[in-house]
Amino acid sequence: MKTLAVYNVKGGVGKTATSINLAYLAAQSGRSTLLWDLDPQAAATWYLQAKGGEGPGKAQWKAGSELRALIQPTPYENLHLLPAGLDNRHLDVWLRKDDARDALAQRLESVAGDYDLAILDCPPSLSHLADNIFTAADLVLVPVVPTHLSLRALKALIDYFREESYPRSRLKPFYSMADRRRLLHRTLIEQPPKTMRDVCRAVIPYTSAVERMGEHRAPVEAFEASAPAAEAYRELWKEVNAALRGR
């Protein structure tokens, strides 16, 4: 099983929309896919119409193997969800008691035989949970809005990887919520700075189709496959899939 984390220390950059759309596309391609919602806001859980939205409690988290009982089907073939709840806000505390950076990887190992791909929808925090995410993930996909503030957050993440000796090659940035009508966005897309090394070619546009995911509670591909955003997510999935196959 490969593990893809969609992460940024900055909020509001399109992590959950990316997680939902890539999970859907992976499942549609025939890969048995688990989307694990790690964010206590539980947005991915809501989008995928989970029953109850109950995430793992302390006892289930400690047991590890009991996480399988919480996994729910979704309306889409090959796509399952490990939902989030408010208890997710305690994950950092529970992880610290384990005093290891591989606790999340161990939990993923308990379901690895059931899935080809696990996608982690991550909360925007640089924490012990984040360390566990970086350890568990084969690839960390980083949505970056083409603005200087968002690029600053990416640089902070790159610096942290260097300080903590995580492989820089695991980071894969891409532009998200991009509006080419804006000069700054257009310039940064056409002339990516050094921090955007290995940037994905796919650029996710700032568009109403992504906002309508909330109306439909569905990935863009499921209700408007002809939308530019749907095409952009398909291109992003191709790049991510190729990167995962190389690991």
Place of tokens 């566990």: 132
Residue 169's domain spans which residues?
Answer: 2-245
- Least confident window among 13-22, 88-97, 209-218: 88-97
Domain count, the chain: 1
| Spatial contact of 138 and 247, defined as CB atoms under 8 Å apart | yes
For β-strands 79-82 and 72-73, DSSP reports them as antiparallel
The CATH number for 195's domain is 3.40.50.300
Tens digits of residue pLDDT in 118-158: 999 999 989 999 999 999 999 999 999 999 999 999 999 99
37 membership: H or E segment, kind and range:
strand 33-37
Average the pLDDT over 60-87 and give the result. 84
Residue 53, pLDDT > 60, answer no
Q: Is the pTM value of this prediction over 0.75?
A: yes
DSSP 226: T
Cα–Cα nearest to 42, from 2, 5, 82: 82
Interacting residues of 24 by C-beta distance below 8 A, sequence separation 6+: 76, 79, 219, 221, 222
Q: How far is CA 54 from CA 17, 60, 79, in A?
A: 20, 12, 18
| Spatial contact of 117 and 31, defined as CB atoms under 8 Å apart | yes
Residue 59, pLDDT > 80, answer no
Tens digits of residue pLDDT in 181-216: 999 999 999 999 999 988 999 999 999 999 999 999
